[in-house]
Amino acid sequence: MALTAPQFSWPVNWAIIQYRSRTKLEDVMFFKRQQAQFPNWGSLREIAWDDKTVEWIAQSDRLDVRLTHIQKTVSFGQSIYGSKDSSECSVHGVMTFPKFIPVSITFADDERFGAFFYDRRDNHNFNGRKINLPSLGIWLSDRDGKKAELLYATLRDAIMRGSKYLGVRFWKNKGEGLMTQTEKERGYSSQYAILGMVTWLELHAQKLPKWAIPTDYRDFSLNALPMNLSDVDRQLN
């Protein structure tokens, strides 16, 4: 049975992956819709965290991130420095609204679901000048490794399907995320709660016939419907 978008209640701590959303297609399409609303990249400036960007993040109930890179380090056995089987994972992505913000995601052992914080990367070249690049840090509690494995598997599946990123939404409290003046000057902040996360993934072949996709999808079409079994085999192979 296809998963449908959940109904949210607040506060909430949860994580869910949706493979296909029927009733919340507008959420699935968020990352494409925002393209028309991009501010000029010239909003990148010497000050990493300007008031308008911080205010927008603080007043929002979410952080929408495009995950583009995951690095996993897996160790078995021992070395001269000790012996311990381990697996470590770090994730990179970007926010493109309200402006370009690189995002780093790590995993921890903690009672809380997770948190985010403001950071910066200094002296990057942009349009012939040096800027302090804003950087958002997120950590997620992941004692059993399931969140890291989920993001790794879903980004891999997205890439196999032909996409270059995986869209992930992190839920937060409205009103949390305002930096103090001292934090703005130094370019990094204290931590603010992450309540949960949701990601959407559609997995099917790039050249799947339009009659073989779900009937409630916009691209569904009965044009070129196969007329016999041989035609079915030809279109699906």
Q: Please state, rounded to an integer, the average pLDDT across all residues of the chain.
A: 80
Burial string for 113-133 (b: 16+ CB within 10 Å, else e) reads bbbbbbbbeeeeeeeeeebbb
β-strand partners of 65: 168
Composition of the chain by helix, strand, coil, percent to 5? 25, 35, 40
- pLDDT tens digits for range 106-142: 999 999 999 999 998 877 777 777 777 889 999 999 9
CB 66 within 8 A of CB 31: yes
Cis peptide before 102 (omega within 30 of 0): no
Q: Where are the domains of the chain?
A: 14-203, 207-237
Which residue in this structure is represented by tokens 């990123």? 165
pTM of the model: 0.73
Dump pLDDT digits (tens) for 21-70. 333 444 544 555 554 444 444 456 667 888 899 999 999 999 999 999 99
**H or E segment at 32?**
helix 30-33
Query: Angle at the Cα of 157 (from 4 to 109), degrees rounded to 5?
Result: 80
